[in-house]
Amino acid sequence: MPQFEQVSVFGSLIFWSVISFAILFFLLKKFAFPPILDALDEREKKIRGDIEESEKLKQDVEKIKTDLEEKLRDAHGKAETIVQLAQDEAKKLQEKTVQETEAKVKQVQREAEQEIQSSRSKLLQEIRSYTAALTIASTEKFLKKALDDSDKKRLVDESIEQVIQELEKSQRN
Amino acid sequence: MESPLHHFEVHTIVPIHIGGLDLSINNAVVAMWVGLAVICGMFLLPTKRGLSLIPGRLQSVLEIAVEFIRNLVYEFIGEEEGRKYVPFIASLFLFILACNLIGLLPGSYTITSQLAVTGVFATGIFILTLIIGFSKHGMHFLGILVPPGIPKVLIPIMIPIEIISMLARPISLAVRLFANMTAGHTVLAVLFGLAMTGPLWLGWLPFGFTVIINGLEIAIAFIQAYIFTTLTCVYIGDVIKLH
């Protein structure tokens, strides 16, 4: 095998490979590895930072979302209360109006009844006076014809009395 | 038929002799330089231009490579201690990978198929682990020779066994890489020899195999570089953690 037979070249092979490795090591260590390792670290840091930031933003968004939902719920609640209040108010107002109208109607009714009552009694009065006059007139005529006829007089009285009673009775009703 | 081991021969290109030492530049050294030049170009040009936060294709490749090695180091040595070893381990990985891959080009040379080279690297790593161990733990580092929890009676037996296992580490490290590279290239050379010498109606068969084996060799180039660096991490991690 030449690797064991060519002993004379060992010196140069060892010398140049060690020297070349040393130069390669020096060059790479000085110029190549620091920037590459830095770039790796920097990227790692950046990715880590970005992920952390996005995580934080996500949390913020979550918080804002819950806040908004809570606010929305509050607003809904408030709106419902307002609607309820308005309904209550409207109901109250309606009831009040109805009551007032009823009261007014009742008063009008009462006034009308009173008016009717008064005009009726007035009418009755008139009727009574007419009847009285009529009775007096008819009685006079009866009296003129048969003054002594007591039965007739009594009949007349009775008839007047009956008329008045009936009038009064109807007036009471 | 040409010997399948012929392409492992080293030819001197520029003879250099300093004080009796033969430091000639040969085809193996040149092939290694080509591979390392590619690595340097890949790593130094983009970093010189400046890296962007959103990586392009080449930057992605570089970052994946470095991150891969960094995770390897963190896994076996630990994040605190491992940080300062990342450049060394990454350079080692890239050096071995470049040498393995450049050797797959026809006419070039795989310097990692030389046991002398892998042996020097393995020995260097072994010495490095000893230096790290002693500088970190002082004389307590010798405690690595005594596994925790063994009965006192066994200690005289365990210490030689542990010493042997420690010494076996660089040997296995060196031989594994050398043997894998040599074997793969030998298989390729044999198959090529068959393809070239056989008649055309038969020769296409070994040639087809060389295509498949070449793909396998690319994978092995990565795997052996990975194994070499992983074991280096394990050894360094061992001497730092002391069991």
Task: Output helix, strand, coil percentages for chain A, rounded to the nearest 5.
Answer: 95, 0, 5
Residue A7 DSSP code: G
In a domain, B235, yes or no: yes
Query: How far A75 CA sits from the closest chain B CA (Å)?
Result: 48
Whether the CB of A150 is below 8 Å from some CB of chain B: the reply is no
DSSP labels, chain B = ---TTGGG---EEE--EETTEE--EEHHHHHHHHHHHHHHHHHHHHHHH---SS--HHHHHHHHHHHHHHHHHHHHT-HHHHGGGHHHHHHHHHHHHHHHHHTTSTT---GGG-HHHHHHHHHHHHHHHHHHHHHHHGGGGGGGGS-TT--GGGHHHHHHHHHHHHHHHHHHHHHHHHHHHHHHHHHHHHHHHHHHHS-HHHHHHHHHHHHHHHHHHHHHHHHHHHHHHHHHHHHHHHHHHT-
Whether the CB of A15 is below 8 Å from some CB of chain B: the reply is yes
The answer to whether B129 and B200 are in contact (CB under 8 A) is: no
Q: Alpha carbon of B138 to those of A136, B17, B134: distances in Å? A: 163, 41, 5
| Chain B residues within an 8 Å CB radius of A6 | 9-10
Residue A9 DSSP code: G
Q: State mean pLDDT over B125-149.
A: 88
Partner residue facing A12 (CB), from B29, B53, B62: B29
pTM: predicted TM-score of the whole model, two decimal places: 0.73
pLDDT at B243: 66
Cβ of B115 within 8 Å of Cβ of A4? The answer is yes
Tokens of B134: 């002693």
pLDDT at A139: 77
pLDDT at A5: 82
Cβ of B114 within 8 Å of Cβ of A11? The answer is no
Express each pLDDT in B184-241 by its tens digit: 999 988 888 888 888 888 888 888 899 999 999 999 999 999 999 999 999 999 899 8
The answer to whether B29 and A16 are in contact (CB under 8 A) is: yes
pLDDT at B107: 85
Q: State mean pLDDT over B167-196.
A: 91
Q: What is the 3-state secondary structure (H, E, C) of B110-128?
A: CHHHCHHHHHHHHHHHHHH
Express each pLDDT in A53-78 by its tens digit: 999 999 999 999 999 999 999 999 99
| Residue ranges, chain A, pLDDT below 50 | none
| Chain B residues within an 8 Å CB radius of A23 | 36
Q: Other CB atoms closer than 10 Å to residue B113's CB: what's the count?
A: 27
Q: Alpha carbon of A36 to those of B37, B69, B72, B140, B146: distances in Å? A: 19, 12, 16, 37, 40
In a domain, B124, yes or no: yes
In a domain, B45, yes or no: yes
The answer to whether B227 and B68 are in contact (CB under 8 A) is: no
β-bridge mates for residue B17, sequence order: B22
Whether the CB of A50 is below 8 Å from some CB of chain B: the reply is no
Residue of A nearest to B4 (CA): A1
Which of A25, A36, A40, A48 should be substituted to probe chain B, the one whose Cβ sees the most B Cβ atoms within 10 Å? A36
In a domain, B149, yes or no: yes
In a domain, B185, yes or no: yes
In a domain, B1, yes or no: no
How many domains does one find in chain B? 1
Whether the CB of A3 is below 8 Å from some CB of chain B: the reply is yes
Express each pLDDT in B65-92 by its tens digit: 999 999 999 999 988 888 889 999 999 9
Cβ of B8 within 8 Å of Cβ of A1? The answer is yes
Would you give the distance in Å from CA B99 to the centre of its chain? 8
Q: Which of residues 18-47 of A touch B (CB under 8 A)?
A: 18, 20-21, 23-25, 27-29, 31-33, 35-40, 42-43, 46
Cβ of B91 within 8 Å of Cβ of A28? The answer is yes
Residue A31 DSSP code: I
Examine the predicted complex and report whether its ipTM is higher than 0.85: yes
Cβ of A13 within 8 Å of Cβ of B117? The answer is yes
Query: What's the mean pLDDT when you consider all of chain A?
Result: 88
In a domain, B178, yes or no: yes
Q: Other CB atoms closer than 10 Å to residue B174's CB: what's the count?
A: 23
Cβ neighbors of A33 (< 8 A, separation 6 or more) are: B66, B86, B87, B90
Query: How far A58 CA sits from the closest chain B CA (Å)?
Result: 25
The answer to whether A164 and A128 are in contact (CB under 8 A) is: yes
Cβ of B124 within 8 Å of Cβ of A11? The answer is no
Partner residue facing B53 (CB), from A1, A8, A42: A42
Interchain CB contacts (distance < 8 Å): A and B:
132
- What gap in Å lies between CA B214 and CA B235, rounded to an integer? 31
Express each pLDDT in B10-64 by its tens digit: 888 888 888 888 888 889 999 999 999 999 999 998 888 888 778 888 888 999 9
Q: Is B20 left (phi over 0), alpha (psi -120 to 50) or beta?
A: left
pLDDT at A149: 62
**Domain range for residue B18?**
6-241
Cβ of B32 within 8 Å of Cβ of A35? The answer is no
